[in-house]
Amino acid sequence: MSWTNLATNGRILVVDDAMENIQILHQALRGEHDVLFALSGEKALELAHQQLPDLILLDAMMPGMDGYAACAALKASAETHDIPVIFVTALSQPEDETRALEAGAVDFISKPFNVAVVRARVRTQLTIKRQADALRELTLTDALTGVANRRSFNNTLENEWRRCARSGAALALIMIDVDHFKRYNDLYGHQAGDHCLQRLCAAMARCASRPQDLLARFGGEEFILLLPEEELAGASVVAQRLLDEVRATALPHAASPTSPLVTVSMGLAATLPRAGLDTGELIRTADALLYRAKHTGRNRFCFDGHD
């Protein structure tokens, strides 16, 4: 997304029980945006989850679930929480406006609407939304490698831990460290070292393809792969894939006593998360097993019961 067209080409969901209002708004916005519509609050929630629009124009008064209830439901769901909602309504008292803002709306447009005003307000909110998205992305991404950073990993671990605790599923971690990376930098230079980390990340990202898997840079030349709903057996399959994929990337490392190519060592740990149990313990276990992998020859993975 270029910074010059942040205000256009959005996916806008228009929600109104009156078809003529939807037609007017569709007419007003379709030149600049992709417009979806729903004729009820219930349908709006369904579409919002399926299509993840950039912005929602929501009628306050509708039979069944009204705009306030729909807005509250959108704000209560993690997937739709960040979608800005503009209320569009014939109600024009300050209390109505306050109620909409309290329900989580970012703006309020009165009916009958002025099409130019609607367009301008949509542009403004779309720009703000995209700037917020870009900022969130920046704060959660490692600048060098493009994978998640440690903050993002910590957030995801907490969420996945709770999710697995609810469903009774296991959760696995692979702690990954590049072997003899100091020697790599010393021989090839820091810039080549950076490039090596980028290539390794691209290779490692190919090894864990489920939507809930998360590869993150844990620090320096250390990475961590979070595998929700996975046990040690599954994690060891992924770890073997990581070893193979890193080998196939074939990055020369003439200063490594382990191999003529860049290699990684890994520690694997898995647990059945429970509320109240500490996520730190799992990380410490994976770290201790990574240490064991380093001290038993590198270019390998270790987990309890297997070296």
Ligand X SMILES: Nc1nc2c(ncn2[C@@H]2O[C@H](COP(=O)(O)OP(=O)(O)OP(=O)(O)O)[C@@H](O)[C@H]2O)c(=O)[nH]1
Q: What positions carry a catalytic annotation? A: 221
Candidate residues 164, 178, 227, 302; the one interacting with ligand X per rule CB under 6 A: 178
Beta carbons within 8 Å of 92's beta carbon, 6+ residues apart: 110
Which of these segments, 34-42, 94-102, 130-138, 171-179, binds ligand X (CB under 6 A)?
A: 171-179
Q: Which residue is nearest to ligand X (CB)?
A: 193
292 binds ligand X (CB under 6 A): no
Contacts (CB under 6 A) with ligand X, residues 135-164: 144
Using an 8 Å Cβ cutoff, are 72 and 86 in contact?
no
Among 11-19, 35-43, 62-70, 175-183, the segment contacting ligand X (CB under 6 A): 175-183
Which residue type does 239 have?
A
Tell the smallest beta-carbon distance from residue 175 to ligand X (Å).
12
What would the two tokens of residue 86 be? 């503009």
Please give the DSSP secondary-structure letter assigned to residue 223: E
CB 32 within 8 A of CB 9: yes
Q: Mark 282-298 as b/e (b = at least 16 C-beta within 10 Å).
A: bbebbbebbebbbeeeb
| 177 contacts ligand X (rule: CB under 6 A) | yes
Asked if 193 interacts with ligand X (CB under 6 A), we say yes
Minimum distance, C-beta of residue 194 to ligand X, in the bound complex (Å): 5
By rule CB under 6 A, what count of residues binds ligand X? 17
Q: Is 297 among the residues that bind ligand X (CB under 6 A)?
A: no
Q: From residue 239, how far is each of 29, 185, 206 by CA, in Å?
A: 49, 25, 12
**Which residue of 97, 213, 221, 287 would you call a contact of ligand X, by CB under 6 A?**
221
- According to the binding rule CB under 6 A, does residue 293 interact with ligand X? no
What is the C-alpha to C-alpha distance for residues 239 and 249, in angstroms, rounded to an integer? 15
Burial status of residue 58 (CB atoms within 10 A of its CB: 0-12, 13-18, 19 or more): buried
Name which of 75 and 150 has its Cβ closer to ligand X: 150
Would you count residue 190 as binding ligand X (CB under 6 A)?
yes
Q: For ligand X, which residue of 49, 136, 182, 306 counts as binding (CB under 6 A)?
A: 182
Among positive and negative, which fits the CA dihedral 84, 123, 88, 106? positive
294 binds ligand X (CB under 6 A): yes
Cis peptide bond N-terminal to 112, omega within 30:
yes
Residue nearer to ligand X on the CB measure, 8 or 291: 291
Binding site for ligand X (CB under 6 A): 144, 177-183, 185, 190, 193-194, 197, 220-221, 294, 298
